[in-house]
Structure 1
Amino acid sequence: MDPSHVYLLVVTGLAVYVVGISLMTTQVSYPLYASVPADAFVAYHARYSRRIQPIIIAPGFPTFLACVVFPFVRPGSVSVWAGALVAAGGVVALGATLSTAIPAHVRLQRDGFTPAHYRRLRTADVIRTGACVLSAAVLIACFPDAFTPR
């Protein structure tokens, strides 16, 4: 197996993991924010932010970047279009995280829970999760072409 195939395997594994944690965050973690009492929210958010670093942040950013790089290191049997879609998912996920999700978290931590900050976070999360699903689905779809003997 050449390095491009190893890259495909690794980035696919990371992408599937990130989709799983993204869906859990979308369906479980963020909806719970609205249930935290206002006077306890800042402390809750601080604990949440510390605990997500190794589980969500540490694998998330490398995965977004690995997807962006994928078109340049993809196996030759994987189409340029597939590589471009994977990269687009990485760019969108990274962009939504940097431009909207992180600033929303900063504001929630600073100001406490507000509907406006929460809406921004949820919007960024839906966009990021959709982008992650796109990248992971295309990566999985690449396997037959990449690993079929020619």
Structure 2
Amino acid sequence: MELSQLFLLLWAGLVFWVLGQIWLVQIVVYPLFAQVGEAEYVGYHRFYSRRIPLPVIIPGFSSFILPVALALFGPAVPFWMSAANIATGVVGLLVTVLLEIPRHARLEKGGKNNATIAELVRFNWPRTLSISAQSVIALLMLIHVFGVA
């Protein structure tokens, strides 16, 4: 197996990991924010924020940035696959930095705010869909490179 193929396999594993996470966040974790009481909310959010870097933030940001490296150092795939993979990573990155992080900061400082929680859930949909698209692209890349068994 070539190094470029190994890179693709590692990429696919990462993006499928992030796919599971983003759907759990979209369907369970963010909606659960609204179920926490006001008095406990800041402590709850701080607890959440301290524990997500390793399992969520690092893989998530990696899935936004690594498509560029995969296009440069991964196996040969059709141009549209690499371009779409990079574009979906950019969408995820922009949603995270411009929409989600500021709302998390508001919740952590200001406490429970149902309007902000609703925005967090609503604005997470483009990121959820972009990561879902990345997963489909990763699967198509795997089929292209390794063929169908």
**What's the TM-score once normalised by structure 1's chain length?**
0.91
How far does residue 43 in structure 1 lie from its aligned partner after superposition? 0.7
- The alpha carbon displacement at 1:96 in A equals 0.5
Contact 2:31 2:117 in 1 (8 A): no
- C-alpha separation in 1, matches of 2:57 and 2:108: 17
Whole-angstrom distance in 1 between the partners of 2:126 and 2:69: 20
State the superposition RMSD in angstroms: 1.3
2:121 counterpart of 1:122: yes
2:144 is aligned to 145
CA distance in 1, matches of 2:116, 2:41: 13
Equivalent AA in structure 2 for residue 19 of structure 1: L
Contact 2:92–2:131 (CA under 8 A) maintained in structure 1: yes
Amino acid at match of 1:29: V
Q: Does 1:100 align with 2:115?
A: no
Alignment-derived partner of residue 7 in structure 1: 7
CA shift, 1:32, in A, is: 0.7
**Greater Cα offset, 36-45 or 108-117:** 108-117
* Contact 1:7–1:74 under 8 Å retained in 2: yes
Match of 1:112 in 2: 111
The answer to whether the Cα contact below 8 Å between 1:101 and 1:125 also exists between their aligned partners in 2 is: yes
In the other structure, the counterpart of 1:59 is 59
The 10-residue stretch of structure 1 (36-45 or 109-118) with the greater mean CA deviation from structure 2: 109-118
Contact kept in structure 2, 1:45 and 1:109, CA below 8 Å: yes
Gaps of 5+ in 2: none
Q: Percent identity?
A: 33
The within-5 A match list for 1:68-107 is 68-76=68-76, 78-107=77-106
* Amino acid of the structure 2 residue aligned with 1:100: L
- 1:6-45 equivalences in 2 (<5 Å): 6-45=6-45
- Residue 84 of structure 2 aligns with an amino acid whose one-letter code is L
- SS at 2:112 equivalent: coil
Q: Deviation above 4 Å: which 4+ runs of structure 1?
A: none
**How many residue pairs align between the two structures?**
147
User: Structure 1: how far apart are the matches of 2:31 and 2:121?
Assistant: 9
Residue identity matched to 1:142: M
Relative distance call for 1:92 and 1:68 in structure 2 (3 A) is: farther
Q: Give the whole-Å Cα distance in 1 for the aligned partners of 2:130 and 2:73.
A: 20
